[in-house]
Amino acid sequence: MSQALQANTIARQSLHHELVERLQTLIINSELAPGSKVPEKLLCDQFGVSRTPLREALKVLASYGLVRLEPNRGAWVTQVTEEEVEEVFPVLGALEALSGKLACRHITDEEIANIRTLHQQMLESYENRDLDAYFSINQKIHLAILEAARNQTLTTSSRALSLRMQRARYLANMTEGRWYDAVQEHEQILQFIEARDGPKLAAILSKHMDQKRVSVIRYLQENSSETSPATLCN
């Protein structure tokens, strides 16, 4: 937990929101290891907060499926299972497909231009083999499509499930071949957004999510426990 826990004291304004985000990042990046107990005292000291707001934030993460709360034993980081992946990813794929259809109805020229810019930045990250930057920009593209759908219920549901599986994407290994295929899929995603072709965009987004599912399952089958994280890109 070295660098990730060397954080400045959190400002009291929006304390709850920032605590949730910081704990979420520690878990997704495996700074708080899967299957481990959440070190509440250490985190309180690092963040400069009492246990009450920390425990409230842990309740939120429990609702996301990132931790489990045990009476008299504290909070424990959950582990990603094959069963969970097989259950959640098809739902995510359906939500992504729906976001694509709706986005093509409502997206503005300005929003398309923004996605085009993000796409170019993502390609630069790919050329530089900068996985962290690639993953970050990639997430922004998917979020931009979701926001263009103009459906708050869809946004809330999709982001909650995406967060639940984000750690799995970090854990899974990305082969050079899969990374290349992912970039080609994103070329099609941009093409169909620019054409405002809802059915084709929905189809490629669904395929894109299923390929992620396959990569995560392969990783879980090849590794008996979740170990050091490597980024799986969208």
Q: Could you say which residues of the chain have pLDDT below 50?
A: 2, 226-233
The whole-angstrom separation of Cα 144 and Cα 179 is: 21
3-state secondary structure of 193: helix
The whole-angstrom separation of Cα 143 and Cα 221 is: 29
Domain ranges in the chain are: 3-77, 82-222
The whole-angstrom separation of Cα 72 and Cα 74 is: 6
The whole-angstrom separation of Cα 155 and Cα 96 is: 10
Q: Which amino acid is at 196?
A: R
Distances (CA, A) of 210 to 27, 175, 179: 24, 16, 14
Predicted structure pTM score: 0.81
Phi then psi dihedrals of residue 122, to 5 deg: -65, -40
What pLDDT digit, counting tens, does each position of 202-216 carry?
999 999 999 999 988
pLDDT value of residue 191: 98
3-state secondary structure of 108: coil
Q: Which CATH class is domain 82-222?
A: mainly alpha
Q: Which amino acid is at 38?
A: V
What pLDDT digit, counting tens, does each position of 76-113 carry?
999 889 999 999 999 999 999 999 999 999 999 999 99
Task: Specify whether the CB–CB gap between 26 and 37 falls below 8 A.
Answer: no
pLDDT value of residue 227: 44
Same fold for the domain at 3-77 and the one at 82-222?
no
Q: Which fold has domain 3-77?
A: Arc Repressor Mutant, subunit A (1.10.10)
pLDDT value of residue 231: 40
Nearest CA to 90 out of 225, 218, 205 is that of 205
Phi then psi dihedrals of residue 77, to 5 deg: -70, 130
Helix (H) or strand (E) holding 96: helix 82-106
